[in-house]
Amino acid sequence: MFTDREDAGRRLVDALRSRLQGEDALILGVPRGGVVVAAEVSRILKLPLDIVIASKLGAPGQPEYAIGAVDADGDITVEPGMGLPEGYVQQEAAVRSAEVRRRVALYHRGRAGVGVAGRTVVVVDDGIATGLTIRKAVEYLRRHGAQNVIVAVPVASWNTARQMRSEGIDLVTVEEPSDFAAVGQYYREFDQTTDAEVLALLDAAIDPGLSRP
């Protein structure tokens, strides 16, 4: 059990530190809550902070049930065998892609983020349930030339963690419960993070030597 996202970030550092010895790594938070965890990792390890965004695609009539994901390039992945209505995925992806673009513009304020080509990047979120959006973020970073992608989260479903590792994803966790139900159950405080909080964390983490917002 984590006190809050800051506590989770500090505990995640302990799991990550040995993996990043001597690495000029970039910490990428997944908005919104993941940025709070990532900012703590960035602060303690003195590594630059930015964001990476992907969005889940919700099922018809059940927006919280993920049937796929879309990244900042508009690239779509859909779980096989879903039996979805014709045209639904394209419609849902168009809506979610627009939201991804809105968030990228908001958080980067019209400026380019740090380039990932040739770098080690650590994707940080506050937890993983199904892993669909984090997988999409990993695909996006690999497509953009990241040399090494590490996914780091305080808590992940044991089943999902096992599946992600079987797919070749480098995953670092603090806890992997087998009775996982929801990310929030592993935090005493799990309030919704606002856009204003994300922006404040990114502003506080700016390294003047980097071409990031």
Tell me: pLDDT of 213 over 50. no
Strands of the chain (E only): list them: 26-29, 49-51, 54-59, 62-71, 76-78, 120-124, 148-155, 170-175
Write the secondary structure of 12-46 as one string of H (helix), E (strand) and C (coil): HHHHHHHHHCCCCCEEEECCCHHHHHHHHHHHHHC
Pick from 15, 160, 3, 134: which is nearest to 69 by CA? 134
pLDDT tens readout for residues 107-161: 988 776 778 999 999 999 999 999 999 999 999 999 999 999 999 999 999 999 9
Identity of residue 4: D
pTM of the model: 0.91
pLDDT band, residue 64 (cuts 50/70/90): confident
In the three-class reduction of DSSP (H, G, I as helix; E, B as strand; rest coil), residue 6 is classed as helix
How many Cβ atoms from other residues are within 10 Å of residue 98's Cβ? 12
